[in-house]
Amino acid sequence: MNPADISAPGAPRRNSAGLRRDLELLEILGSPEAESAGGLGVVRVAELAGRDKGGVSRTLATLADAGLVSRDTVTQSYRLGYQLYALAARTLESRLVRASAPFLRRVVTATHETTHLCVLRGGSVLTLASELSELAFRGLGWEGVSTAAWRTSSGRVLVSDWAEHDLRGWYALHGHDEPVTSPVTPLLQISGGTSAALTDVTPAVTDFESLWAEVSRIRRRGYAIVDEEFEKGVVGVSAPVFDFRGTIIAAINVSAPKPRLGSHLDEAGVLTARVAAELSAQLGAPPLDYRR
């Protein structure tokens, strides 16, 4: 080994200057100026970085090949790329899963029902993690399962901080998405309940106006309730989890057969909202009154 290749403790790593220069360009493309303009051209990026236009152009092309930036074929401007957002999303969700585990267990301990951590994926709710109750079948859970957001308490919570025009556009795209059958269904047979086809249920949300009314109720209460809307014999509550910006990034959900939880929905909702608020505080959420 060449002794010149061995860095002394605390010495700068080889090629770190190049990495810092690449990161500088990503920071520029993530700036308010770039965001408001929908991207920046090579000349402007070079001006902000104080670097040669040709070198910046080559670096941006390399970053584009890796998916870390993207280039508009019409304007030729660059913006942050899909791969960067994908990496950030996976990092955030991994942290969410780790941080949420003790909070989900607290809800399970208090309600004796299986509890889930959910996020929004387009028009669907995706379950990232589940904590099973002692009443659940072994291995029963929602991890990796997605279903139509507008039909679920967690989905309604996840869009409940959106502006009206944004929510209207989302509902126009996803308001007819079909749900999937719930893993809770087998539990109905051991709890005295009955199951039915999804076509046998009548959701409270049937159009945008009823969705907007439900969002208003969620904001006032701090949690959402579904009572045999998603599936006959199944009830649930969900509460929002906020990030450091005060934006809803996840929901804690409790779903169970109606014979077990149906008479305690508001109690479960208040509990779930309190635990979700404590998880939000751990994630750096500012103090806020969600019921606005």
**CA-based angle 126:112:273, to the nearest 5?**
60
What number is the average pLDDT over the span 214-218? Answer: 96
Find all residues with CB under 8 Å of 30, minimum gap 6, and list them.
80
Residue 63: φ, ψ to 5°: -65, -35
Place of tokens 């000349």: 43
- Among 124-133, 183-192, 259-268, which stretch is predicted with the lowest mean pLDDT? 183-192
CB 88 within 8 A of CB 104: no
Between 177 and 23, whose confidence is greater?
A: 23
Quote the CA–CA distance of 139 and 64 in Å, as a whole number.
42
pTM of the complete model: 0.66
DSSP characters for 212-250?
HHHHHHHHHHSSEEEESSSSTTEEEEEEEEE-TTS-EEE
Percent of the chain whose predicted confidence (pLDDT) is above 70: 78
Q: Coil, strand, or helix at residue 100? A: helix
Helix (H) or strand (E) holding 80: strand 78-80
Burial category of 3 from C-beta neighbours within 10 Å (exposed 0-12, middle 13-18, buried 19 and up): exposed
Q: Supply the pLDDT for residue 137.
A: 45
Residue 107 burial by CB count (10 A; 0-12/13-18/19+): exposed, middle or buried? buried
pLDDT tens, 66-104? 888 889 888 999 998 877 766 666 667 778 888 999 999
